[in-house]
Every structure is written in structure tokens, then in C-alpha cells.
Amino acid sequence: MFRGEAASLSFYLLAHILMQTKTVEFVRPVQPQTTSQRWSVAEVEALFKLPFSDLMYRAQQVHREHFDPNAVQLSTLLSIKTGGCAEDCGYCSQSSYHSAGVENTKMLEVDEVLKAARAAKQAGAGRFCMGAAWREPSSEDMKAVVEMVREVRALGLETCATLGMLNDEQTRQLRDAGLDYYNHNLDTAPEFYGNIISTRDYQDRLDTLERVRNAGMHVCSGGIIGMGESLTQRAGLIAQLANMDPYPESVPINNLVKVEGTPLADTEDLDPLDFVRTIAAARITMPHAFVRLSAGRGEMSDAVQALCFLAGANSIFYGDQLLTTGNPAVERDRALMDKLGMYPLAETDH
């Protein structure tokens, strides 16, 4: 569980600083064409080691240069195919290697996905992500996914998909369907990766991201914090992401959700301030990216989440359920945004 007490004294200060609730239109910052600064692992680790107030101040300065600091992107994630995955990712309840009790289901019908997308839009989400528990999609799978992407995008939602590894033809199909973002997380630093997964190489992930970029789609890629990695390895993940050319437009940062039946179920809890520091490092090293608070928010106090927003997070997964794990209720998120004077990002660049 997150120990929010460490941040509680900052909560009311943040609520005072942030402005009153409203909805604003926002024009996405110009996408960086190249990576202007190469970050060594040592340099990123030095960011983590800054005095906390200095790190937060620097991250907030960078954030305000490129974004409205009080606007947050609301993204909804739907599992369109759950369970039975052929990968052995140590954190994942959907792996066929683990006994987490997740049922292997068939892919949802297009109408079911559209129903969920309409509900997400009605609740205030501007972005809809479709996830499938595959190593890679088959040609038959792709036919259905392409239709889903087209129909969801027609609703006026920004679209994202996470389907595993892709080949060149599949990336072209998704691009032609109008997919805005493709998510494929690096998970962790290259040096720690072998401790988490053995069925897919790190280079496989990088190759898929390169195909997505070459096809002309936006890249969504981040990782998971709290899997037992060292500080240097945590910095290594951020450096790996920041040194992509260009770096991802969307960077989800997950805190490990420990699920019974998975190899990481008994991993030691991460100090919440270490998670906040990771958000700040991501913001400083990838100033134009949307930095998303992803899995693990259900265990965070309001105070810890407030510190994450101050550190530069400006996107959340919104809705009671992620893929197979819980997420804060919509009502709780709305109440938190009200207390902080934050408001939904109004996307204008579909």
C-alpha cells in the first residue's frame, strides 16, 4: 500500500496553489523532431538524488513551460481480450504461466467496445485505449481491431491500442485505420529486464516501437516502478525512454500492482516519494510528453497523487477498472480534481 502520510502536509498547499475547476481547450505542444539532449543513466540518477524540493521545483518549471499545469488528460483503458497470454511477464495476472485466476476470454465484439467507448466519453474521457493479452495479434485479430479503431475514432475520441508485438504490415493497418497512439511499454531498464520476463527480448520491444514510429503513429511507452529494481535501474528506464529519437509522446508510469499468483506478489512496497521522484525525472527528461499516472493509483493517497501532479504528471487512467486490476472510482477522481483545482484536458487536435 502507498504510505500517503509522507506527503500529507503538502496536500493543502497544492490545493491552494492550483486554480479553480474549469474545462480548457489545449493545443498539443509541437512534437520534438529529434532528441536535443542525450541523458546518461548517471545524469538521470543525479536527478533522483536531488533534494526533494529542488527536484519538484525543477520539474514544475519544465512542466509549466510546455503544458497548462492544471489540466489533466483523462484516458480510459478497456481490455478487449483478457487472459491466456503466452508471455511470462512476472507482474502480469493475464500470463498463462501464472495462477492468478484470470479467465482466458474471447475478444470482445465491436459493438461491446463501442458501448464502452461511448460510456467513457460520456464520463469525460478524451482518450480511449484498447488492450489485448497477446504476444502478437493474428491476421484475423487485426481485422476486428482495425474496425474497432475506426469506429472509436469516429466517436471523436483519441485512440490508442496495446496488442503486443507488431510487424510492418500490422502497423500500416493500424495507421490507415486512424490509430493515434500505439502503446508498447519497455517495462524496466535493460539490465533488470531479464528478472521480469524471459519470453520476449528487450530488443523486440524496441523494434516494435521503431515500426510504430516509422509508420507515422505516436508512441506511448513507459514502464513499471517497484518491481525490485535498484535506483540505478529505475534511472536506466527513464534514460532509455528519454533517449529515443524522438522520445515517446505519451509516457505511462505504473506502480507495481501486486497480484496473488504472480511471481512479484510479495515484492517489497515502494516508498511513495520514490514514485513521485520517478514522475519528476520523466517530466524533466521528456518535457513535451504526456506523463501518465497509470496502474497503482488505487493504492495511492490523494496527497501522493497531488505530489505527482506537481511533479509533472498530466494524464491519468480514468474509470473503475484497468485491464484486470482496479482503479480509483470516477467519483473519487472528480473529487480529487475539484480539491486541487484541476480540470479535464479538452483535446482539439484529433
Q: Which three cell numbers stand for residue 192?
A: 533488470
Q: Could you give the CA distance from residue 42 to residue 44 in angstroms, rounded to a whole number?
A: 5
pLDDT-derived band at 22, boundaries 50, 70, 90: very low
Say which of 58, 127, 129, 153 is annotated catalytic.
Answer: 129
Say which of 58, 85, 127, 234 is annotated catalytic.
Answer: 85
pTM: 0.85
pLDDT-derived band at 319, boundaries 50, 70, 90: low
Active site residue 85: yes
10-24 mean pLDDT: 40
Q: Is the pLDDT of residue 122 over 80?
A: yes
- For 75-117, give the DSSP string: EEEEEEE-S-BS---TT-TTBTTS-S-----PPPPHHHHHHHH
Q: Could you give the CA distance from residue 157 to residue 113 in angstroms, rounded to a whole number?
A: 13
Q: What is the pLDDT of residue 101?
A: 66
Q: Which residue has the higher pLDDT, 345 or 92?
A: 345
Say which of 160, 200, 297, 308 is annotated catalytic.
Answer: 160
338-349 pLDDT, tens digit each? 999 999 987 543
- For 108-162, give the DSSP string: PPHHHHHHHHHHHHHHT-SEEEEEE--SS--HHHHHHHHHHHHHHHHTT-EEEEE
Q: Is the pLDDT of residue 15 over 80?
A: no
Asked which of 28-32, 94-98, 255-259, 339-343 is least confident by mean pLDDT, the reply is: 28-32
Active site residue 92: yes
Q: What is the pLDDT of residue 25?
A: 41
Which DSSP symbol is given to 253?
E
Q: Is the pLDDT of residue 1 over 80?
A: no
Name the range with the highest mean pLDDT among 45-59, 190-204, 288-302: 45-59
Q: Is the pLDDT of residue 95 over 90?
A: no
What percentage of the chain carries pLDDT values higher than 70?
83
Active site residue 308: no
Asked which of 12-16, 115-119, 137-141 is least confident by mean pLDDT, the reply is: 12-16
Q: What is the pLDDT of residue 220?
A: 96
Active site residue 213: no
Cβ-Cβ contacts under 8 Å for 46 (sequence gap 6 or more): none
Q: What is the pLDDT of residue 133?
A: 82
Mean pLDDT of the chain: 85
- Among 3.40.50.10490, 3.20.20.70, 3.90.209.20, 3.40.640.10, what is the CATH number of 52-340? 3.20.20.70
For 73, phi then psi, to 5°, come to -80, 130
Say which of 200, 205, 220, 308 is annotated catalytic.
Answer: 220
pLDDT-derived band at 298, boundaries 50, 70, 90: confident
pLDDT-derived band at 262, boundaries 50, 70, 90: confident
Residue with grid cell 548517471, as numbered in its chain: 42
As a whole number of Å, the end-to-end CA separation of the chain is 37
Say which of 58, 92, 127, 234 is annotated catalytic.
Answer: 92
Q: What is the pLDDT of residue 321?
A: 54
Active site residue 220: yes
Q: What is the pLDDT of residue 65?
A: 96
Q: Which residue has the higher pLDDT, 273 or 349?
A: 273
Helices (H), the chain: 8-17, 41-48, 52-66, 110-123, 139-154, 168-177, 190-193, 202-215, 231-242, 272-285, 302-310, 330-340
pLDDT-derived band at 8, boundaries 50, 70, 90: very low
Q: Is the pLDDT of residue 331 over 90?
A: no
21-38 mean pLDDT: 46
Q: Is the pLDDT of residue 265 over 70?
A: yes
200-225 pLDDT, tens digit each? 899 999 999 999 999 999 999 999 99
Q: Is the pLDDT of residue 112 over 50?
A: yes
Asked which of 138-152, 205-219, 294-308 is least confident by mean pLDDT, the reply is: 294-308
235-263 mean pLDDT: 93
Active site residue 118: no
41-74 pLDDT, tens digit each? 999 999 999 999 999 999 999 999 999 999 999 9
